[in-house]
Structure 1
Amino acid sequence: MVSVITSFSRITILSYIIIFTVIDLIQIFEPKLNEVVGSILTTIQAVMIVLFLCNSAAVIYFAKENPYVILTTVFQLIFLTVIAIFLNNLSVPASKALINNMLLMLCFSFVFIERLNFNKSIRQLINGVVSLVVAVIVIYFLRKIPEISKYLFVFAAIGIVSLLAISFIGDIEYGARLSFNVLGIRIQPSEIVKITYLFFIAGCIVTFRDFRGYLFSTIGAGMHVLVLVHSKDLGTALVFLAAYVFLTFIAYKNYILLGLEIGGAIVGGIIAFNAFPHIQTRFIAWLDPLSVVDDKGYQISQSLFAIGTGGWLGSGICNGMPAKIPVVVSDFIFAAISEEMGAIVAICLIIIYMCSTIMFLNCAFNCSNSFYMLVVSGIAIIFGIQTILNIGGVIKFIPSTGVTLPFISYGGSSLLSMFIGFFIAESSEELWISAKGRRRYDY
């Protein structure tokens, strides 16, 4: 019975994801769809999300015979509904396609964390609820702050002090200082600092409309990145650096500065490679994982075995062996998805991430305020870069960097950061309208 349900679900789940992805592509390549047609398409996507979650939960329930799976799924559906309601009320206008993408990513997170570790799936749901509450509170206060860009140095101080604290007294994980442990709750400040970092850079650019803006943003970005390097959190340092490079290019459109920044990043990367042995280890594992499969290359080798075993249609939920991959619930969850749902679903998920990044950029470029335009552009850049780094590391396209897959990987701090960024992107125009004492910035 279980094998029949699992085998049948391979096809039904594949169908839901393909339909969802095709609609995503239609909305990207036909942005001026009739309002009625657009509403129908997003409604179909919402139905696919519910079917995907319920179908996947049914397979897990029959495979593990855990009655709590059904109850958890009910709470997950309620949670997703609440998110949609909040975002539709906050956004002016709401990007329903982007909201659907976020909800589908959360469904992937719930399904695969539940399949791998039921207790962690409960914690991830709690992380999601907390992230939702905090994101709503952040939006509420941002509405009340006029000319928020003037607080750029406050944002810089918050970010640098937080990173310095973790750099000196944080717990060491995988060779880097990444987090604090407070009452059994692991907090990773660098995830939250991503938001304050973007506020700082955007504030520099719109407050100082000359070379000073570039100078201050460069100095501040350099300090953030250097502290992260001191913590040996080089994956996050790369994300911060990429956000700075692309944001300054969007603002100034200066190819000379872009070339200098990329050149500086390459030089910094070479220095970091020679200075940190664990980076050299990751390169060895990337170049030839099977030659060091018993040690350095074990994680990436298991990831590639899992992806290869899954084939095009996957082995079926609970039929694979993703638990053999170290830290599979966080850094390598994409490998678990590829193994049990197959390469077609994995490719569809990559397309959904690509479409989401484009939708984020559309939100940014449709914002009439330069400050929030830059902030949301930075959110899009971080979202896209993290996706590339995570999936690229999992499939051996690039060395593993240790960054999470947005909205899917297990982790409260990462989820909170993404929630806040997503809510700011969806409500950026409304934030501009609501803030008292507003004035338009031009750079």
Structure 2
Amino acid sequence: MTSPTAAQAAASQPSRAARRPPTRRNAELVLLLVVAVILVALSAAIQAALQSKVDSSSLYIPVALTVLFVIAHMVVRFFASYADPVILPCVALLNGIGVLFINRLGMESVKAQASKPAMYGGNGTRQVIWTIVAIAAFCVVMLLIRDHRILSRYSYTLGIVGLVLVIAPALLPGSISDPGNNGAKIWIVLPGLGGIQPGEFGKLALMVFFASYLVSKRDVLSLASKRFVGIDLPRGRDLGPVVTAWAVSLLVLMFERDLGTSLMYFGIFIAMLYIATERTSWLLIGLLLFLGGSVLAWALVSRVQLRVDIWLHPFADPTDKGLQLVQSLLGFGTGGIFGTGPGAGHPTIVPVAASDFITTSIGEEIGLFGMTGVLMLYLLISLRGLRSALDVRDSFGKLLAGGMAFSIGLQVFVIVGGVSGLIPLTGITTPWLSYGGSSLLASWILVAILLRISDAGRRPVVPAAPATQLQSAQTEVVRL
């Protein structure tokens, strides 16, 4: 009997390269436990500042949130085991911080009632309920959508649904459409459910449509006609989609008087177009259209004129028109570098402190140092989302993940830039932090799709078994 050759021995042993890579789910669980510790400490600090004591009631909200986050983790562990391990803990921490500060704003009115548990904070309790609904939707999406490419089959249907959701508040009668947010018609009032923002869900549907459309038209949109200053310009006939997106965003601005939503839709489309074609010319065309649209909107829409005037001269009318921005700037200034401490500030002075100006409320009490950490969480989510776009193998997944990651970064820039005076104020919400069910629900659904794409990109490819094994086949020499 002869011993097997070295090649046969190596083939019989599983190589290290063929071993399945780790799923990193345990790392995700450890990060979620760290999130739980941070939330417990933050809740205790808030109760100590507002009620001069710390008892078991400070654990109610952190424990409830931790249970919800662990449930989300278990769904990811069993149904998307190779998904990115960092995205879910970052989202959980942002959601937890938002709930605790919303609850803290509700506790301000019962500050003298030291025996009242921190759990019963009005909006804080409702935000916990919305978190339950949002994570339930997250789990349902993870269970139903096992392959993100299924969404591309319904791209045109989702595109129509997205447009309907975006323009619905402007078309419905006043008894149903609520002109909230100081004149912006972005809400729909439903009996028994209160107000919802359909545009938050329309944004998700339109991103799916954009990704599918750009995949099918990428080759055409990548063609160049002329070269100018080292930049390949697209053909004139290919400008239709960009001009259409620009026109729709202007219509949204004019009829709904919502600067933030208009900027979000157009910005996301241009970013996804650039990812699809890698043409710098599309960015320049988008920038020129944005500047032209801004001037046109300023000339035609009085709400935009007011926003720009407040941005340029916030202290001209600090008790009326400029009240929101002035109080926001004073709140950030009061917080300084390290903040007044959780529960020790006066964030209720800022109008709409729990929703539009939640970053001001948080920034006053945790300071520039703490807000930098919060913004770093958003940066991590966006970067890991872009990483997922690079890892996934199909073009549709790349565009969809890239668009979703960019949308998070753009939305945070628009809202934080507005409340800090960097750009004019807009009425959009801060993902996972602001009070409200529509934004929270849509943001968790976005995370579910992003994790599904991440799982597809990080999951190892199983090599196909060879049709025949010639090396091990028996041979026989036949003499003729």
TM bucket, shorter chain: 0.7 to 0.9
| Richer in helix (by share) | 1
- Deviation at residue 215 of structure 1 after TM alignment: 6.4
- Is the 1:149–1:207 Cα contact (8 Å) retained in structure 2? no
- Is the 2:148–2:397 Cα contact (8 Å) retained in structure 1? no
SS in 1 for 2:185: strand
- The match for 1:406 is 431
> Is 1:180 equivalent to 2:188 in the alignment?
yes
- Deviation at residue 251 of structure 1 after TM alignment: 0.3
- Deviation at residue 67 of structure 1 after TM alignment: 6.9
- Is the 1:139–1:423 Cα contact (8 Å) retained in structure 2? yes
How many angstroms apart in 1 are the aligned matches of 2:30 and 2:70?
15
Could you say if the C-alpha distance between residues 217 and 148 of structure 1 is closer, same or farther in structure 2, counting changes exceeding 3 Å?
farther
- Deviation at residue 88 of structure 1 after TM alignment: 3.2
- Deviation at residue 280 of structure 1 after TM alignment: 1.6
- The match for 2:229 is none
Could you say if the C-alpha distance between residues 99 and 433 of structure 1 is closer, same or farther in structure 2, counting changes exceeding 3 Å?
closer
How many angstroms apart in 1 are the aligned matches of 2:205 and 2:40?
37
Among 249, 272, 277, which residue is 1:247 paired with?
272
SS in 2 for 1:399: coil
**1:97-149 deviations in whole A, cap 9, x for unaligned?**
22211111012111100101221111111111111222332343333786532
Q: Please, which moves more after superposition, 155-164 or 368-377? A: 155-164
> Is 1:345 equivalent to 2:370 in the alignment?
yes
Q: Please, which moves more after superposition, 57-66 or 126-135? A: 57-66
- The match for 2:465 is none
- The match for 1:221 is 245
- The match for 1:325 is 350
- The match for 2:64 is 75
Q: Please, which moves more after superposition, 422-431 or 266-275? A: 422-431
Could you say if the C-alpha distance between residues 343 and 257 of structure 1 is closer, same or farther in structure 2, counting changes exceeding 3 Å?
closer
- Deviation at residue 389 of structure 1 after TM alignment: 0.8
**1:349-378 deviations in whole A, cap 9, x for unaligned?**
222222221111001111111111111111
How many angstroms apart in 2 are the aligned matches of 1:111 and 1:244?
34
- Is the 1:160–1:224 Cα contact (8 Å) retained in structure 2? no
Consecutive unaligned residues of structure 1, counting only runs of 5 or more, are 1-34, 435-443
Q: Which amino acid aligns with 1:52?
A: I
SS in 2 for 1:181: strand
Among 37, 43, 46, which residue is 1:51 paired with?
37
How many angstroms apart in 2 are the aligned matches of 1:410 and 1:248?
32
Q: Which amino acid aligns with 2:186?
A: L
- Deviation at residue 227 of structure 1 after TM alignment: 4.3
How many angstroms apart in 2 are the aligned matches of 1:355 and 1:408?
16
**1:307-334 deviations in whole A, cap 9, x for unaligned?**
1111222111221110010111111111
What pairs with 1:13-412 in structure 2 (closer than 5 Å)? 45-62=31-48, 63-64=50-51, 69-117=58-106, 118-143=121-146, 147-169=150-172, 170-173=177-180, 174-182=182-190, 183-211=192-220, 217-218=241-242, 221-222=245-246, 224-229=248-253, 230-412=255-437
Aligned residues: 399
SS in 2 for 1:164: helix
How many angstroms apart in 1 are the aligned matches of 2:25 and 2:441?
29
How many angstroms apart in 2 are the aligned matches of 1:257 and 1:382?
18
How many angstroms apart in 2 are the aligned matches of 1:145 and 1:340?
40
SS in 1 for 2:122: helix
- Is the 1:333–1:409 Cα contact (8 Å) retained in structure 2? yes
SS in 1 for 2:393: coil
Could you say if the C-alpha distance between residues 77 and 206 of structure 1 is closer, same or farther in structure 2, counting changes exceeding 3 Å?
same
- Deviation at residue 180 of structure 1 after TM alignment: 0.8
Could you say if the C-alpha distance between residues 212 and 140 of structure 1 is closer, same or farther in structure 2, counting changes exceeding 3 Å?
farther
- Deviation at residue 335 of structure 1 after TM alignment: 1.0
Q: Which amino acid aligns with 2:47?
A: Y
How many angstroms apart in 2 are the aligned matches of 1:150 and 1:41?
34
- Deviation at residue 94 of structure 1 after TM alignment: 2.4
- Percent sequence identity over matched residues? 27
Q: Please, which moves more after superposition, 84-93 or 255-264? A: 84-93
- Deviation at residue 90 of structure 1 after TM alignment: 3.4
TM norm structure 2: 0.77
Q: Please, which moves more after superposition, 157-166 or 203-212? A: 203-212
Consecutive unaligned residues of structure 2, counting only runs of 5 or more, are 1-20, 107-120, 223-237, 460-480
Q: Please, which moves more after superposition, 254-263 or 122-131? A: 254-263
- Deviation at residue 196 of structure 1 after TM alignment: 0.6
How many angstroms apart in 2 are the aligned matches of 1:42 and 1:185?
35
- Deviation at residue 346 of structure 1 after TM alignment: 1.0
- Deviation at residue 433 of structure 1 after TM alignment: 11
Q: Which amino acid aligns with 1:168?
A: L
Could you say if the C-alpha distance between residues 257 and 215 of structure 1 is closer, same or farther in structure 2, counting changes exceeding 3 Å?
same
- Is the 2:242–2:270 Cα contact (8 Å) retained in structure 1? no
- Is the 2:338–2:369 Cα contact (8 Å) retained in structure 1? yes
Could you say if the C-alpha distance between residues 47 and 153 of structure 1 is closer, same or farther in structure 2, counting changes exceeding 3 Å?
closer
Q: Which amino acid aligns with 1:285?
A: I
- Deviation at residue 431 of structure 1 after TM alignment: 6.2
**1:156-193 deviations in whole A, cap 9, x for unaligned?**
11111222321112210111111111124211010001
